[in-house]
Amino acid sequence: MDAADERVARAIAGDQDELESLVRDASTVLRATLRIDSRWSRNFDVDDVLQVTFLEAFMRIKSLECATMTAFHAWLKRIAQHNLIDAVRALDSRRRPDGERRVTHGAGGESAHTLLLRVSDREATAGGRAVMAEQIQSMHDAIAQMPKSYRQVIRLVDLEQKPFAEVANELDRSIGAVHMLRSRAHDRLRELLSARPR
């Protein structure tokens, strides 16, 4: 194993400083390979994509199966490309609002209920309010385990129902970055909920 591959192995083993160094080194290459269509460039930029990509890399480094520099770069590039695609899809879908996709706000925690149904593979149960309250509490517990930026975007967009532009301003991010974060936050929440006992 050469020195570069050993760095990747250390990062996979949990060396956060090594991972930070690898991500920093890879940022130049990623920056050069990501292309954002001019239709979307006013909504987000390469730095927005990279921020979400690097956050995801820190959360998922243990999923990298091959401890080589080549595999690390390919893995990171794939994450960045998926984040870019998610951002474009989210912005494109904003042009065509879908009532099913919007979390509704109302009395009695309806926004939390709608979010739970959206990210879980669970159906609404006829078990009543106690079961739903338990499931919502479980969802809130899962949200509490997530990185701060994921927690913030779920709270602001999904639970407080703030417009994307307002959330972007509040988080000092572009609208596209908020869409990317929300998509990844929903993915992560879905994973956390599916790992919990039913």
- How many angstroms separate the CA atoms of 15 and 159, rounded? 35
Angle between the N-to-C axes of helices 69-95 and 175-194, in degrees from 0 to 180, rounded to the nearest 10: 110
Unique residue bearing structure tokens 């990747």: 8
pLDDT of residue 62: 92
pLDDT value at residue 99: 44
Give all domains of the chain, ordered by start, each with its CATH number: 3-95 (1.10.1740.10), 107-194 (1.20.140.160)
Query: How many C-beta neighbours within 10 Å does residue 172 have?
Result: 7
C-alpha dist (Å) from residue 125 to 122, 176, 178:
8, 35, 31
The pLDDT score that the predictor gives to residue 157 is 92
What is the rounded CA–CA span in Å between residue 176 and residue 86? 9
Q: Quick check: 136 and 116 in contact, CB under 8 A? A: yes
- Cα separation of 81 and 77, whole Å? 6
At residue 107, the pLDDT reads 44
Residue 74 to residues 67, 69, 124, 154, 197: CA-CA distances in angstroms? 12, 9, 40, 29, 34
Dihedral in degrees, nearest 10, Cα atoms 119, 124, 128, 134: -20
- Residue 98: the pLDDT is 46
pLDDT of residue 75: 95
Check residue 125 and give its pLDDT: 52
pLDDT tens over the chain, length 198 residues: 799 999 999 999 999 999 999 999 999 999 998 888 888 878 788 888 888 899 899 989 999 999 999 999 999 999 999 988 888 887 777 665 444 444 444 444 557 767 766 676 555 555 556 677 788 888 899 999 999 999 999 999 998 989 999 999 999 998 888 988 998 899 899 888 888 766
pLDDT at res. 16: 92
pLDDT score at 185: 92
CA distance 84 to 174: 13
**Other C-beta atoms lying within 10 Å of the C-beta of residue 6:** 13
Q: Tokens at residue 1, please?
A: 């194993």
pTM to 2 decimals? 0.64
